[in-house]
Amino acid sequence: MSLIEEVIILPKDGKISDSVIRRLPRYYRFLGELLEEGITKISSGELSRRMKLTASQIRQDLNCFGGFGQQGYGYNVSELRNEIGGIIGIDKQIGTILVGAGNLGRAVALHLNFEKNGCRLLGVFDSNPDLTGVVLGKIKISHVSELEKFCKENKPGIAILCIPRDGAKELCDKLIELDIRSFWNFSHYDINLEYENIIVENVHLGDSLVTLTYRTNNQ
């Protein structure tokens, strides 16, 4: 018998709202940190206090996926984390390539834990022939001319773009032709404007800094 007493409100069209999706990584990371602290169960009140979200917000979010809390018990941290990991698809380990092995590309390739975030870095590419064969962590940089062969053999699902705006459109055309549908886009090229049915996460570190500047100036 289910101990879940909350009303489960599933989205009418079966789609999870973007704002809930954007909170998922934070839940996942936060629950992992709780486990590292040895916390195995937590009440929704305590979770909300620690995450600085309202308990009702947390319940609503988790209800989108079927609700995991048990009345009078709270949440089993490990179970909830596994459920959220399953929803994200963390274990699928999507094959990923990175293009542009300059300062930014090297930092991303070397310092990001891809596996922990649901991806596996398969290859790094750059147009500068001087970088071909240079070892980056466990991966040797390949020349971009190898992209087609590599993608046909390895079928990566995600491309990380760490190149300047110039040349980004041409590269995207190529990658989309090679069946890549998801982009983690650090280049300042606006992929979404050009293509349909492409999933893009744009990263603009500068925007985050500008937000901080605004907030600092408008305390």
| Cβ proximity of 119 and 158 under 8 Å | yes
Stretch that binds ligand NAI, among 1-9, 58-66, 101-109, 193-201 (CB under 6 A): 101-109
Minimum distance between the CB of residue 120 and ligand NAI, rounded to whole angstroms?
A: 21
Minimum distance between the CB of residue 123 and ligand NAI, rounded to whole angstroms?
A: 12
Interacting residues of 154 by C-beta distance below 8 A, sequence separation 6+? 95, 122, 123
Minimum distance between the CB of residue 149 and ligand NAI, rounded to whole angstroms?
A: 15
Interacting residues with ligand NAI between 176 and 215 (CB under 6 A): 186-188, 203-206
* Total residues at interface with ligand NAI (CB under 6 A): 24
Sheet of 119-126, strands arranged across: 135-136, 139-143, 119-126, 94-99, 158-161, 182-185, 199-202
Does 171 interact with ligand NAI (rule: CB under 6 A)?
yes
- Residues 91-130 as b or e (16 or more Cβ within 10 Å = b): eeebbbbbbbbeebbbebbeeeebeeebbebbbbbbeeee
Interacting residues with ligand NAI between 107 and 136 (CB under 6 A): 125-128
Please, which residue, 25 or 167, has the CB nearer to ligand NAI?
Answer: 167
Minimum distance between the CB of residue 82 and ligand NAI, rounded to whole angstroms?
A: 32
| Residue closest to 184 by CA, chosen among 125, 99, 116, 122 | 99
| Cβ proximity of 105 and 169 under 8 Å | no
Does 162 interact with ligand NAI (rule: CB under 6 A)?
yes
Distance CA 23, CA 150 (A): 34
Minimum distance between the CB of residue 156 and ligand NAI, rounded to whole angstroms?
A: 15
Residues that bind ligand NAI (CB under 6 A): 99-105, 125-128, 144, 162-164, 167, 171, 186-188, 203-206
